[in-house]
């Protein structure tokens, strides 16, 4: 009787159980011997005994969501890539400090549990967790009728990683003359979609329509999943010949290019990035044309084709680039770090409470 009353209020517990069954295999595929207790418990258990091999293990944690990109997935009823976006936004923040991910949990809030749709989302999360070496140890799907529409949902997640204390990456390792390496993005990733959605609405763009400029439909181009970096960059960090070569990473997310790089540079340092060293992806050119704006005007909103920066020892910059390329990512020298006083008019300084360095983009983009 209680289930019937609850169903009358808009919550279908049986649909929730069905969703769990559909996602079960994908989630379990991320579990190594460190994950204990099976699937579906109140809490996930992770055997942390390998941390005893560390001299001073530091746990790194990150949490994030996908933002309004989920609205486009809902608009064209395509939900198998949003999970990768979530993992990218969360786990790729952990590698920034040099940490290897251990485990992740997710949270999905929806107006109505549609088992196949929830399973699509979680399967995407699980595939991306497996690709980054992260165990998906638990999650929650909550049905919120009356708060969200039947076809609406939002996703969030949190992850934990570990790094040896004396191997933490960050601004304190960056020195004068360090080289800044840009690592390519797959597209918009999961930032700046409020602007994207406004442009789409203002210009009456049909997300299912083919775009010659994009080479695919609008919806598919705008839902291109966030590129994952963690698995590959962990392997690069482990290369003996590159030991100590990488001083810092920056994940280019909300706030754009200059602000995110400035966060991992030391106070008193500055860097100029040469726009001519890369050509922004077609999706950025098409959207800025739609907005009647310039690429330069959206550098603080979209990544324009750079998903990650590595700040490295100048003597080994070429070796780092070769290693990143061998792992399947585009990489190029974007600039260098200078420590010293100068006029910083026109530079981006400080972001998200970090009093770091200063960054400016100069020149014109390559065609």
pLDDT tens-place string over residues 131-151: 999 999 988 999 999 999 999
Best CA proximity match to 234, nearest among 46, 101, 49, 325 = 101
Share of the chain above pLDDT 90, in %: 80
In this prediction, residue 271 carries a pLDDT of 97
Bridging pattern class, strands 331-339 and 269-274:
antiparallel
In this prediction, residue 148 carries a pLDDT of 93
What is the rounded CA–CA span in Å between residue 332 and residue 232? 16
Q: What are φ and ψ of residue 178, in 5° steps?
A: -60, 145
User: What's the rounded mean pLDDT across residues 55-81?
Assistant: 96
The chain-wide mean pLDDT, for the chain, equals: 92
In this prediction, residue 5 carries a pLDDT of 44
What is the rounded CA–CA span in Å between residue 44 and residue 140? 11
Model confidence at 107: pLDDT above 70: yes
User: What's the rounded mean pLDDT across residues 295-310?
Assistant: 97
In this prediction, residue 42 carries a pLDDT of 77
- Residue 218, burial from CB neighbour count under 10 angstroms (0-12, 13-18, 19+): buried
* DSSP secondary structure code for residue 340 in this structure: S
User: What's the rounded mean pLDDT across residues 212-238?
Assistant: 97
In this prediction, residue 273 carries a pLDDT of 97
Q: Where are the alpha helices (DSSP H) in 239-334?
A: 256-262, 282-291, 317-326
Model confidence at 353: pLDDT above 80: no
What are the DSSP calls for 147-169, one per residue?
TB-TT-EEEEEEEEEEEEGGG--
pTM score: 0.91
Domains with residue ranges and CATH for the chain: 13-37+56-167 (3.30.1330.10), 171-362 (3.90.650.10)
pLDDT in tens, 86-99: 999 999 999 999 99
- Tell me the C-alpha to C-alpha distance, in Å, between residue 254 and each of 46, 66, 239, 331: 31, 11, 30, 21
What is the rounded CA–CA span in Å between residue 365 and residue 277? 7
Q: How confident is residue 356, by pLDDT bands cut at 50, 70 and 90?
A: confident
In this prediction, residue 1 carries a pLDDT of 43
Model confidence at 36: pLDDT above 90: no
Q: How confident is residue 22, by pLDDT bands cut at 50, 70 and 90?
A: low
Q: Where are the alpha helices (DSSP H) in the chain?
A: 2-8, 13-28, 69-76, 82-94, 115-132, 193-202, 218-222, 230-238, 256-262, 282-291, 317-326
Contacts of 147 by beta carbon, 8 Å cutoff, 6+ apart: 111
């Amino acid at each position: 009787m209680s289930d019937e009353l609850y169903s009358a209020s808009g919550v279908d517990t049986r649909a929730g159980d069905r969703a769990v069954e559909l996602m079960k295999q994908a989630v379990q595929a991320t579990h190594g011997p460190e994950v204990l207790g099976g699937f579906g418990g109140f809490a996930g258990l992770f055997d942390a005994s390998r941390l005893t091999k560390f001299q001073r293990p530091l746990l790194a944690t990150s949490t994030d969501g996908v933002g309004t990109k989920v609205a486009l997935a809902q608009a064209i009823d395509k939900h198998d890539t949003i999970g990768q976006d979530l993992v990218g936004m969360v786990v790729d923040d952990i590698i920034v400090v040099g940490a290897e991910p251990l485990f992740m949990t997710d949270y999905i809030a929806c107006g109505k549990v549609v088992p196949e749709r929830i399973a699509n989302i979680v399967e995407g999360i699980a595939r991306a967790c497996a690709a980054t070496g992260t165990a998906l140890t638990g999650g929650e799907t909550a049905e919120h009728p009356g708060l969200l529409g039947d076809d609406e949902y939002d996703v969030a997640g949190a992850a934990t990683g570990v790094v040896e204390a004396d191997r933490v990456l960050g601004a304190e390792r960056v020195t004068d003359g360090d080289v800044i390496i840009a690592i390519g993005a797959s597209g918009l990733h999961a930032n700046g979609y409020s602007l994207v959605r406004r442009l789409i609405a203002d210009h009456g763009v049909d997300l299912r329509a083919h775009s010659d400029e994009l080479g695919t439909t609008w919806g598919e181009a705008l839902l291109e999943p966030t590129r994952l970096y963690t698995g590959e960059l962990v392997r690069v960090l482990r290369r003996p010949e590159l030991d100590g070569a990488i001083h810092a990473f920056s994940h280019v997310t909300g706030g754009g290019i200059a602000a995110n790089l400035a966060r991992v540079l030391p106070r008193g340092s500055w860097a100029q990035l040469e726009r001519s060293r890369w050509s922004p992806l077609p999706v950025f050119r098409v959207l800025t044309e739609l907005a009647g704006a310039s690429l330069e005007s959206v550098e603080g909103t979209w990544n324009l084709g750079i998903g990650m920066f590595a700040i490295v020892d100048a003597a080994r910059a070429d070796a780092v680039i070769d290693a990143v390329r061998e792992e399947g990512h585009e990489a190029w020298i974007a600039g260098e770090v200078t420590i010293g006083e100068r006029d910083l008019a026109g530079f981006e300084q400080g972001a998200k409470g970090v009093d770091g360095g200063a960054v400016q983009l100069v020149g014109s983009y390559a065609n």
